[in-house]
Structure 1
Amino acid sequence: MALNKTGKLIILAVIPTLIFLLPTPQGLPLIAWRLFGLYLATIVGLVLKPYGEPVILLAAVAASAVTIGNTENAAALVKIGQTLSGYQSGTTWLIFTAFTLSSAFVITGLGKRIAYHMIDKMGSTTLRLGYVTMCLDLLLAPATPSNTARAGGIVFPIINSVAVALGSEPETSPKKAGRYLLLNVYMVVKTTSYIFLTAMAPNALALSLMGPILGIELNWLQWFLAASVPGLVCLLFIPLICYLVCPPEMKRVDNHSIARQGLEQLGPMSFREKALAVLFLCALGGWIFAAALHINATTVALVTMVSCILLNIVSWDDIRKNKAGWDTLIWYGGIIGMSAILEKAKFFDWLAQTLSHYVNFGADAEISLLVILLLSVSVRYLFASGGAYVAAMVPVFATVGKVAGAPVELLALALLFSNSYGGSLTHYGGGPGPITFGAGYNDIKSWWTAGAIIAFGSLIIHATLGMAWWKTLLSMGWLE
């Protein structure tokens, strides 16, 4: 029986209360133990969701400030103001401002226009439509940190309407084309989401949480370089795998007619669309050449957001209404701040020292990396949110891997990317899942079959080709 809100709140209250009452482990400061209790309750809250993520994190930040202020000698390790440090993080603001570009593609209709042109040029068969979906999502991914908005607001409506235009209805003829096309939408977005730092909001969160533990920093270009080779190889196989698992009954498509009708509904290309296309290319260039231009990715995103407003591509009211962007700003800033005060209170140092007595792979350091990577993907069966998984498991896997002797650079890259493709396993593994599965074309068996092939197949590619590529980049000094 599902818990009601009162039951969930009782659980969340009991967790820190028990931690507060239990004796503090040897070697761990009292404030770190108490803050851990609040952090654990926060993670459980992100899973149970008695309230939305922003409310849970604001409550956790407030409780942390009260705890710091009422714990003896806490100020020697942690300042109350540090609970808000996550809102100063450049990565938090990078993702928030990038949401403006994401919403602009939907508001102006540029995303749809690009899609219909791709369908016209490439979509003569259902398999090719699968690759059109791949190319469209890959093109939009750098500027859309909400993969739910990207898949649900742009790609899904177009591909769903294409399925209907092909005579494939959810109840009467799902296998004609819709089952394949909609499954492919989700599997593609879970791969494009880790190819770019700005392609999925939890990417920046994972990087921020992992940084203090493993001492790794990546800029936008370094992230893309590391993800590009294994990610693009995986991406090339996904439409074909989905095609083999859910073979469509219809093979040929009148793509020109579909594209013509879609473009006629959009009308001529507007100034706002043209301006957005130019800004998108400028933002992409700014992220790629940030080091040479002596600017950072957050500055590029801020300038792009302001330019969108000044050119009337989007209005300030549009930004105010962008619920996903504001929610992300509040709860990501909160969880990064809580992780930061745990680090300041020496919790992760204590955890590493404690685990070092129990986790030891001896000389087989890379075996520990492979075991952790396998666990990081398998555990995604339990999580319906990439953000909740990152907040709960990334610090743990990073700490365990470090004390087990895994190469920290390879460990960091492997964990950063496995969050996203691990979500391919189930139809609830990420925000786009319920949207595409909810269209009614797909069954759980074929979805989970394709998901397991893609998730664990991606793991194999990352553990072989990916690690070879990362070692090459490290040896050349490109990830320093």
Structure 2
Amino acid sequence: MALSKAHKLTILAVIPLMFFLFPTPDGLSLVAWHLFGIYLATIVGLVLKPYSEPVILLAAVALSAITIGNTEGASEFVKISHTLSGYQSGTTWLIFTAFTLSSAFVITGLGKRIAYHMIGWMGSTTLRLGYVTMFLDLLLAPATPSNTARAGGIIFPIINSVAVALGSDPETSPKKAGRYLLMNVYMVVKTTSYIFLTAMAPNALALSLMAPILGFELNWVQWFLAASVPGLLCLFLIPFVCYLIAPPEMKKVDNKGIARQGLAELGPMRFREKALAVLFVLALFAWIFAGFLHVNSTTIALTVMVLCIFLNIVSWDDILKNKAGWNTLIWYGGIIGMSTILTKAGFFTWLATTMSQNLQFGDHGNVALLIVLTLSIAVRYLFASGGAYVAAMVPVFATVGKVAGAPIELLALGLLFTNSYGGSVTHYGGGPGPITFGAGYNDIKSWWIAGAVVAFGSLLIHSTLGMLWWKFLLNMTWL
């Protein structure tokens, strides 16, 4: 039975109240204990969703500030201004500004145009259409931090239309082509989402939450280098794996006709599309050569956003209407601020010390690493939001792995990437899931089988080839 809003709010009120009433554990400050109660209630709120994420985080930030101001001795650990520190984070603004590029691909129609050209070039079979989806998603991923917008706003409408054009109906003939094509959309997007730092908003959040615990940072290029070898291998295997699990009855496709009709509906390429294509390429090169240019990734994204407005690719009204971008700015800035005040209050240091007294793997740090990464995927069956998973579990898994003796760099990289591909285990593990599954072509059994194969198969590749690659990068001091 679903909980009513009143019941959800009651649960959220009881959680911090318990922490205010119960005694503080030894070695932990009073303000840290109270703030953790608010943080825990916030995470539960992101799962229960009595209100949207921004509302929950704004309430948590406000309550945290009140708590700091009214707790004796709190100023020795943390200041009220620290609750808003997440909104000063360059990471928060990097993700927000990248949403402009994401919306521009939809508004101008450039995303669809690229897709139809790719279908015409190489989509002569259903398997090749699976690889068209893969290449299209990989191309768009660096500039679309909302994988829901990327999959749901650009790729899904096109692939769904292709399935219909091939005579595949959700009710009468789902296996003809639609079941394979739509399943593949989701499994692909959960892989492209970790290949680039800017391919999924929770990537930057996970990195920010992990940094104070593990002392590990990555820039845009380092992230791509680390993800490239295991990630691209997984990505190239996924369309074929899905093809084996949900084989389409139709093998040949009139891709030329589909592409011709789609491009005819779009009409000739306009200035806004051409300008966006140039800016997209320039942004990619700027992110790659940011060190040489002496600029950071956030500055590049802000510059591209301003140029998009000046060149009338998108208007300021378009940006104002981009609810996903503003929602992300508010709740990601809030959750980073919450993590910051917990760090400054000494909560994570206390947690690591406490765990180290009860969690010992001796010299078997690699065993601890594999157990933590496996658990990070298994627990995704319980989460319907990648952002909620990151906020709730990444600090915990990072702390557990650290005190258990797992190699810090391998632990950080492993957790950063399982954050995305771990969400493929279910049809509700990320925003694109309900969209693609909701088309009606797929059954839960085949979807979950494919998801388990993709998620745990990706873990196997990352734990073998991936770790060898990461050690090589570390030895070369490229990370």
Query: Hey, what's the Cα distance between the residues in 1 that align with 2:461 and 2:126?
Result: 26
In the alignment, residue 333 of structure 1 is paired with which amino acid?
G
Query: Hey, what's the Cα distance between the residues in 2 that align with 1:359 and 1:466?
Result: 26
1:188 paired residue number: 188
Report the Cα offset of residue 149 of structure 1: 0.1
Please list the CA deviations of residues 70-108 of structure 1 after superposition, one character each: whole Å capped at 9, or x if unmatched. Answer: 000001111001000000000000000000000000000
Cα RMSD, aligned residues only: 0.3
1:281 paired residue number: 281
Matched, 1:145 2:145: yes
Aligned ranges for residues 58-457 of structure 1 at < 5 Å? 58-457=58-457
Query: Hey, what's the Cα distance between the residues in 1 that align with 2:217 and 2:424?
Result: 26
SS at match of 2:32: helix
Query: Hey, what's the Cα distance between the residues in 2 that align with 1:44 and 1:71?
Result: 24
Query: Hey, what's the Cα distance between the residues in 2 that align with 1:371 and 1:82?
Result: 34
1:39 paired residue number: 39
Query: Hey, what's the Cα distance between the residues in 2 that align with 1:370 and 1:442?
Result: 32
Matched, 1:13 2:10: no
Query: Hey, what's the Cα distance between the residues in 2 that align with 1:103 and 1:30?
Result: 45
Query: Hey, what's the Cα distance between the residues in 1 that align with 2:228 and 2:436?
Result: 26
SS at match of 1:124: coil
Query: Hey, what's the Cα distance between the residues in 1 that align with 2:20 and 2:122?
Result: 61
Query: Hey, what's the Cα distance between the residues in 2 that align with 1:150 and 1:229?
Result: 23
Please list the CA deviations of residues 144-171 of structure 1 after superposition, one character each: whole Å capped at 9, or x if unmatched. Answer: 0000000000000000000000000111
Query: Hey, what's the Cα distance between the residues in 2 that align with 1:279 and 1:123?
Result: 27
Query: Hey, what's the Cα distance between the residues in 1 that align with 2:305 and 2:424?
Result: 31
Name stretches of at least 5 consecutive residues in structure 2 with no aligned partner.
none
Report the Cα offset of residue 5 of structure 1: 0.3
SS at match of 1:318: helix
SS at match of 2:314: coil
Query: Hey, what's the Cα distance between the residues in 2 that align with 1:114 and 1:303?
Result: 24
Query: Hey, what's the Cα distance between the residues in 2 that align with 1:344 and 1:216?
Result: 17
Query: Hey, what's the Cα distance between the residues in 2 that align with 1:412 and 1:89?
Result: 20
In the alignment, residue 393 of structure 1 is paired with which amino acid?
M
Query: Hey, what's the Cα distance between the residues in 1 that align with 2:325 and 2:273?
Result: 21
Query: Hey, what's the Cα distance between the residues in 2 that align with 1:80 and 1:375?
Result: 35
Query: Hey, what's the Cα distance between the residues in 2 that align with 1:282 and 1:209?
Result: 29
Query: Hey, what's the Cα distance between the residues in 2 that align with 1:471 and 1:90?
Result: 28
In the alignment, residue 44 of structure 2 is paired with which amino acid?
V
Query: Hey, what's the Cα distance between the residues in 1 that align with 2:424 and 2:292?
Result: 36
In the alignment, residue 136 of structure 1 is paired with which amino acid?
L
Report the Cα offset of residue 122 of structure 1: 0.4
TM-score (norm 2): 1.00
Taking only the aligned residue pairs, the percentage that are identical comes to: 81
Report the Cα offset of residue 384 of structure 1: 0.4
SS at match of 1:264: helix
Please list the CA deviations of residues 261-320 of structure 1 after superposition, one character each: whole Å capped at 9, or x if unmatched. Answer: 000000000000000000000000011000011000000000000000000000000000
2:28 paired residue number: 28
Name stretches of at least 5 consecutive residues in structure 1 with no aligned partner.
none
SS at match of 2:60: helix
Please list the CA deviations of residues 207-233 of structure 1 after superposition, one character each: whole Å capped at 9, or x if unmatched. Answer: 000000000110000000000000000
SS at match of 1:249: coil
Query: Hey, what's the Cα distance between the residues in 2 that align with 1:8 and 1:216?
Result: 36
Query: Hey, what's the Cα distance between the residues in 2 that align with 1:71 and 1:96?
Result: 34
Query: Hey, what's the Cα distance between the residues in 1 that align with 2:202 and 2:299?
Result: 20
Please list the CA deviations of residues 334-387 of structure 1 after superposition, one character each: whole Å capped at 9, or x if unmatched. Answer: 000000000000000000000001111001111100000000000000000000
In the alignment, residue 163 of structure 1 is paired with which amino acid?
A
Query: Hey, what's the Cα distance between the residues in 2 that align with 1:289 and 1:459?
Result: 30
Please list the CA deviations of residues 231-257 of structure 1 after superposition, one character each: whole Å capped at 9, or x if unmatched. Answer: 000001100010011000000000000
Query: Hey, what's the Cα distance between the residues in 2 that align with 1:445 and 1:79?
Result: 50
Query: Hey, what's the Cα distance between the residues in 2 that align with 1:224 and 1:281?
Result: 16
Query: Hey, what's the Cα distance between the residues in 2 that align with 1:27 and 1:364?
Result: 28
Query: Hey, what's the Cα distance between the residues in 1 that align with 2:170 and 2:368?
Result: 45
TM-score (norm 1): 1.00
Please list the CA deviations of residues 165-188 of structure 1 after superposition, one character each: whole Å capped at 9, or x if unmatched. Answer: 000011111000000000000000
Please list the CA deviations of residues 438-467 of structure 1 after superposition, one character each: whole Å capped at 9, or x if unmatched. Answer: 000000000000000000000000000000
Query: Hey, what's the Cα distance between the residues in 2 that align with 1:201 and 1:417?
Result: 13
In the alignment, residue 401 of structure 1 is paired with which amino acid?
G
| Aligned length in residues | 479
In the alignment, residue 122 of structure 1 is paired with which amino acid?
M
Query: Hey, what's the Cα distance between the residues in 2 that align with 1:385 and 1:452?
Result: 17
